[in-house]
Structure 1
Amino acid sequence: MRWLALLAALATLGSAPALGQAYQCRMPERLGPVAPPKRGRDDVRRVTPVTGYTLALSWSPEHCKGREDRPGEALQCSRNFGEFGFVLHGLWPEEGTAAYPQYCARTPVQVPPSVVRKTLCAMPSQRLIAHQWDKHGACMARDPESYFRTATKVYRAIQLPEMERLSRAALTHGMLRREIARINPGMPTDAVTVRSNARGWLQEVRICLGRDYRPRACPAYVRQPRGDTPLKVWRGL
């Protein structure tokens, strides 16, 4: 089964972008520095046992709608540096309840530029890379390189559907969940959650994983709309 081989694959997969996720990726030769993120009053440090993970994949065309000309979104949305489908939002540690671990390091740490560059084709936002390490990654790994190496390899191991075709169908939340499970042998349908905005447009797909990174049924506290809820997909046209 594909998922039985995933753990071994994590140790051997390369760093080239997967075509199913990044249609094109051509990041600039030079990147500006990004300081460690500033934590707000509500960003509470919470160190709890890790019982599983959530892989969050954002649908880039929807995120970029109306943001194409924003300087802070240029890497992902301007189309000057790539065209993206599903991008890595994050690999998040879970505790089994809504009280998941977060901000485990006492102070924010800067992600090395070399790690940022290796990650950008999967997560095309320097600010998001900094935030994901500070909020989630420090609860899972000793250093940013280990965290992002694992996160990107899990992301690239996921098979994703051909969204151009699905976007033209009368799609529902349940249909997308079933299609993702179908093309990933061994993945249960209830391991997949789909998030849409208030207008019914696809925003994100999340995959619930055990500590061994194998898909598992999502915890009871994870809620989502009924399977027959209509779902629209913006293709970025």
Structure 2
Amino acid sequence: MSRSVRLLDLLHALRGYRQPVSAKKLAEMLGVSQRTLYRDVASLVAMGAPIRGEAGLGYVLEPGFMLPPLMFTYEEIEALVLGADYVASHTDHALGQAARSALNRIAAVLPEAHRRGVECGTLMTGPPTPCAPSRIDPSVLRQAIRDEFVLVLSYRDARDLPSRREVWPFAMAYFESAQILVAWCCLRGGYRHFRLDRIEAVIVTCRRYARRKEGLMKEWHQSRIAEATPDADRN
């Protein structure tokens, strides 16, 4: 591995941690000695990378630092093409367009040989399983998740019973047969999963919910350990 590639790998490794990570762990990840790791960190700092050292804890890369465009391996390109193809064919129109646009942006900065790997992808996804169409625009839900806004849903459960729900949305899940909004339901006082094809109407309020979505996501994951799959209708 060349030194330049190793320095970029070190930046990528640091970007994966929000808390300080020890020099020993970083060295093991990169397959180098701690002495080499110390020199590499010093070189990056000298180049302007905002790496902060925490005595007894390790290093952390300041948030907001942008990495320069990197070279992808052929397998990484295949993974990106396959993932974009899946999103384009198995999700809604807006998300599919975003996947194609992202792939075009990546292809634009790749060398010719690698660009051909994007344009002539040899890995493909199968046709999507037909599912009931959604009455609402999924991009509205995604924006509410980003903004952490409370939603009011008009919803019909698996028994076709209507209800009005005030929810704190924090995630969406895409399955072959359904798309799911994951949220804290104020009516039920717990986490619930709402199929998009059963949401009849949605009102986006201007109110932010009381907790951060990262905390809700973590708590939801913990609650799911002993439960069934996310598409179980328990509303």
Calculate the TM-score normalised by the size of structure 2: 0.21
Larger relative contact order (Cα-Cα within 8 Å, sequence gap ≥ 6) = 1
Higher relative helix content: 2
Higher relative strand content: 2
Calculate the TM-score normalised by the size of structure 1: 0.21
